[in-house]
Amino acid sequence: MKSSKKKTAGGETHQTKDEQHPVLTSNQGIHISDNQNSLKAGARGPVLLEDFVLREKIFHFDHERIPERIVHARGSAAHGFFELYESLADLTKADIFQRAGEKTPLFTRFSTVAGGAGSVDTPRDVRGFAVKFYTKEGNWDLVGNNIPVFFIQDAIKFPDLIHAVKMEADRGYPQAGSAHDTFWDFASLMPETSHMLMWAMSDRTLPRSLRMMEGFGIHTFRFINAKGKTSFVKFHWKPKAGLQSTVWDETLKLQAADNDYHRRDLFEAIDSGNFPEWELGIQVFDQKKADSLPYDVLDSTKLIPEEVIPVRIIGRMVLDRNPDNFFAETEQVAYCPANIVPGIDFTNDPLLQGRLFSYLDTQKSRLGTANFHQIPVNAPKCPFMNFQRDGQMQMQVPKGRSNYEPNSLDAAGENAGPRECPVTGFSSVAGRPEMEEQGDKLRIRPASFADHYSQARMFFHSQTPNEQAHIASAFVFELSKVTLDHVPPRMLANLRNVSEELAARVAKGLGVSLPAKAAAAAPVQEFKPSPALSIQKNMKETLQGRCVGILIDDGSDAALIEKLQKDISKAGGSVKLIARKLNGLVLNNNSGIKAHGQLAGSPSQLFDAVAIVLSQKGTETLLKEGAAVQFVMDAFGHLKAIGYTKEAMPLLEKAGVAMDEGVQEAGKNFVAAAAKRYFDREPNVRMLA
């Protein structure tokens, strides 16, 4: 039978009834006409609650895993506070943004997306970045990622995305990785994933530390001030420690060296008083500006470059206390994008609209009770009361005879029941002006969502040549794991719309010919590069919050070790002494010393820079130790600074270290050199696409 295809305005291709496939149905056997788009009132209007296809699909998806989170299962979290720099009373009536200098308690959880709770910290993956603000008006949850865009435009596709990226249904692997058939089959069929794929294949998904990554609210929200004036707003978290990522080989070896690398790093930083900080920034704009942009601000696969609308820094988040109990707090915390306070409102972003439904349902399934909001980590720190009584695990003891409203039984006195308050209560924007609030009921993407490649192209062109090579190499690695012959060419056809150079490099790395360019649903536009999108262009040359590993042995220079420890500490860094044995070492002044880590269990990938402080005798000993040679070899291959004593040079030579500006004598300029990575070295240590 001859196949037939249809295209939506957003450019997705899917099957029609004359193809030889079973008909997709609901769980009740009802045939589904469109599995790509939620039912909306008008092309850009709100998603309708009557969409039983969306509700059934997400409802089933939300309940597929018990009790582990379906996504973001592996997480690490901490308590802290938000401090406002300046009043935003002109923009929003939200109480948290009224008084400069005021601090609001919060709880922040970071996570990987694809892996289960028992997976490792460091795979190539998007990181969740969720903040629960305990404001005086109730809880506000800013639930985002370390990437400002997402793979899909409509929440109805979220179950498909996660099913594709998770372990394959028949074999239960791979865990916590996207380098397999089902993910790339899905991604290659969904051009709207193109922009997010560029981020996912970049170093953004290989963070050096949770403390050194940005966070984003992803969606466009609204601010509402006391006079009812509204503005669009997008939220950004900027790490005070600066951006930094690992390189791919380093990431692989980190998984073997320490499955809990990020969790340990966050916990130890807070435990030592080196509190992680981020500044909160906002992009604020009006309807006129939104209309002038060559992309739709309601499309979650798009961002607004900081060069177009600068990020205004308005406050800071400090994480200053580790959880007292991992399960009670980190595991039981329940975030929900629907948790907002007066002065903040939603837009009709169809991905956001679906998330507003999904999260609450998920929490009920995971935590087993409609009263999960009473768990201490989830409970507001302001008074809360209503007529929602009973249920499993009811921890409160509501007083009064009436459990309904309106009522006239508890109108006054000690047991007076709660009543609505039009003055201070939450109210949505009346008739959001950016939307068509009325229209035909239909399943369709607006034409303004159809450009899937222009911003992906902008992202690639915004990177340094080194970062572009990392992206190309990541595509080669991922697609080399795909066993379906027809999938890589389909992905390459899409990549040609992003960058001919990128597609050619990936094709060469795979050893295949370039296919014809995929048809684009909308013309590909040429946007100016955005330097803010590059990690390497925005890295800080600093040792603040970084750790230096010093390799020592018998006879090492005690005075030099003491000086390095002092200088590194002064620069804001920390030191760990590494040796072939933890105890019993004797330095050149005959003093004994205890190491922090044993060489075989403390490889150089755990550190931001290394120093090799050895005597001639120590060098002769470690030349016979493979772990010592690998320690130096990996530090050089991972583009880190290496300090050395002259006596240690034979070890550097055996490890293949070539002298460059990142290789310095330990007693001279090493501490300054240790504050950066040496990306110019990379072409000499590995082949990239």
Residues forming the active site: 72, 145
Residues linked to residue 612 through DSSP beta bridges, in sequence order: 551, 644
User: 3-class DSSP state for residue 64?
Assistant: coil
DSSP conformation class of 92: -
Alpha helices in 551-642 (DSSP H): 558-570, 616-622, 626-637
- Residues 6 or more apart in contact with residue 659 via CB below 8 angstroms: none
- The answer to whether 234 touches 221, Cβ cutoff 8 Å, is yes
Q: Is residue 130 within 8 Å of residue 335, measured between CB atoms? A: yes
- Partners of 82 in beta bridges: 104, 317
Closest CA to 625 of 526, 542, 562, 553: 553
Write the DSSP assignment of 564-575 as a string of letters: HHHHHHHTT-EE
Residue pair 462/502 in contact (Cβ under 8 Å)? The answer is no
CA of residue 314 relative to chain centroid, distance: 21
d(CA 590, CA 579): 17
Q: Which residue's entry shows tokens 């308050």?
A: 421
DSSP string, 653-680: HHTTPPP-TTEEETTTTHHHHTTS--GG
Beta-carbon neighbour count of residue 569 at 10 Å?
A: 13
**Distances in whole angstroms, Cα of residue 255 to Cα of each of 77, 186, 605:** 20, 27, 10
**Dist CA 579 CA 596 (whole Å):** 8
CA distance 210 to 146: 9
Residue with tokens 């004994």: 592
Phi and psi (nearest 5°) for 2? -75, 130
Identity of the amino acid at 110: F
Strands (E), 96-252: 103-112, 127-135, 138-145, 215-216, 221-224, 230-239
| 326 backbone dihedrals φ, ψ, rounded to 5° | -60, -45
